[in-house]
Amino acid sequence: MRRRTRALALAVVAGLVAPLAACSSDDGPPTLTWYINPDDGGQAEIAKRCTDAANGAYRIETSILPRDASAQREQLARRLAAKDSSIDIMSLDPPFIPELAEPGFLAPIPQDVADKVSQDVVQGALDGATWKGKLVTVPFWANTQLLWYRKSVAEKAGLDPSKTPVTWKQIIDAAKDQSKFLAVQGTKAESLTVWINALVESAGGHILTNPEAPADELKLGLETDAGKAAAEVMGTIGKEGLGGPGLPTADEGASLTLFQGDKGSFMVNWPFVWSATNAAVEDGTLDKSLLDDIGWGLYPQVTEGTKSRPPYGGINLGIGAFSKHVDDSLKAAQCIVTPENQAYYFATNGNPPSNTKSYEDADVKKAFPMADVIRESLENAAPRPQTPYYNEVSLGLQETWHPPASVNPATTPKKSTDFITSVLRGEQLL
């Protein structure tokens, strides 16, 4: 009886240990794990291409992060804080880079690699990949918002945004006169911060005036003419119902639906709207005449004659500081961001390249006739505040600038400044 028990115990232990032994194999090339944001399969295809190009030096496997950018950040930050060595390469949303760079969660990018991956890269993407004057991530793709408009509405209003940049006041007046809706993102989420930041930057200000300072010394730049001008635009759209009844919950997808509808006029949104509308027309859910009626131009100006600072987004590649294969990961990252791979990614998945060379690709020009406007927009784009406390700043803005109808230039900037300051000082919950 006892012998049988012992044999059973041995079998159980062997069963538990055998799979672990299989995992610890040191044979063969190292496998690099690339944590990616969900897409249409483009990053997995690039991983395959770079694995082939490595000629057996390494293999790249992808692992999918949550869909939401803040959930991606939460997962990566927690795993990096636990010194997770399985994270070799990460697709990172730019606003969260300082938070991971400051505590040393990202492996440093050697100068020679930094020089190489910075060549021909648009300024907005370089700014977003930098922390305290150093490139800490490899710029991959760079996103920006354009002004999308219905040609019929713009024509009636006497505007041609494709030739002359328009102002927020002009599109507000046009929508009001023609009883149309403006498609903007008013939901209490990151997209609201994106809008606030673009408005403040376009008005010549900054949400944070000293983003590299410690939490309790951070200073906000909202109680300025720029902050008030931003609040004026948002408050007017909210109060006058120009964003439609869905404005307080409108994200990028909802904005696109509004724009495609009968009351659509002008929309600020990322370039995915073009491929999404094309796909809908191909599927027969939207009429081809809608596609012909859509035009594009640079992001609206807050002050006439002053260049707008459009939103900047996208993905940069970070290398995990606790990875066992930092050198291979750096090589793999350089392969991932080649202009060819970026052009492929743009043409197939709709995510614009950070490398200007990719915009010369024939497939890109065919899929995105507005590619040159996107590149120009990226050169002017302003990153969101680059601080390790970005999450607090962003959530604090959402708390005080939502819903858009409640935004008042006389009170909101001060309320927002007081609230975010006390949260950063640890005096208030969020």
Partner 1 sequence: MTAEVATAQTVEDAARPRRKVARSDRARSEARLGWLLAGPAFVVMLLVTLYPILQATYDSLFAYRLTAPDDKEFIGLRNYVEVLTDSVFVQALLVTLLIMVVSVVVELLLGFALALVMHRAITQLRGLLRTVILVPYGIITVVSAFAWFYAFDINSGFVNHWFSWLPFIDTDLNWFAQQGTSLFVIIASEIWKTTPFISLLLLAGLAQVPTELEEAAEVDGATWWQRMRKVVLPNMKAAIMVAVLFRALDAFRIFDNVFIMTNGANGTTVLSLLAYRTSIGRLEIGLGSAISVILFLCVLLICFIAIKLFKVNLAGARGES
Binding site for partner 1 (CB under 8 A): 70, 74, 77-78, 81, 99-100, 102-103, 105, 187-189, 245-249, 254, 257, 388, 391-392, 395, 402-403, 426-430
C-alpha–C-alpha distance, residues 360 and 145, integer Å: 20
Q: How far is the CB of 132 from partner 1 (least distance, A)?
A: 15
Q: How far is the CB of 72 from partner 1 (least distance, A)?
A: 12
Contact in structure between 340 and 46 (CB atoms under 8 Å): no
Please name the residue ranges forming H helices in 119-251: 123-128, 151-156, 168-177, 190-202, 225-239
Q: How far is the CB of 245 from partner 1 (least distance, A)?
A: 4
Contact in structure between 238 and 168 (CB atoms under 8 Å): no
Q: What is the CA radius of gyration of the chain?
A: 24
C-alpha–C-alpha distance, residues 74 and 52, integer Å: 32
- Residue whose CB is less far from partner 1, 139 or 396: 396
3-state secondary structure of 297: strand
Q: How far is the CB of 301 from partner 1 (least distance, A)?
A: 29
Q: How far is the CB of 422 from partner 1 (least distance, A)?
A: 10
Token pair of 265 as six digits: 């006029």
Give one word for 145, left, alpha or beta, with left for phi > 0 and alpha for psi -120 to 50.
beta
CB atoms within 10 A of CB 240: 13
C-alpha–C-alpha distance, residues 94 and 381, integer Å: 13
- Residue whose CB is less far from partner 1, 53 or 430: 430
Token pair of 319 as six digits: 């290398």
Q: How many CA atoms lie within 13 A of 416 on its CB side?
A: 32
C-alpha–C-alpha distance, residues 267 and 8, integer Å: 68
- Residue whose CB is less far from partner 1, 30 or 403: 403
β-pairing, 89-92 vs 312-319, is antiparallel
- Residue whose CB is less far from partner 1, 411 or 428: 428
Contact in structure between 401 and 234 (CB atoms under 8 Å): yes
- Residue whose CB is less far from partner 1, 301 or 386: 386
- Residue whose CB is less far from partner 1, 74 or 376: 74
- Residue whose CB is less far from partner 1, 252 or 361: 252
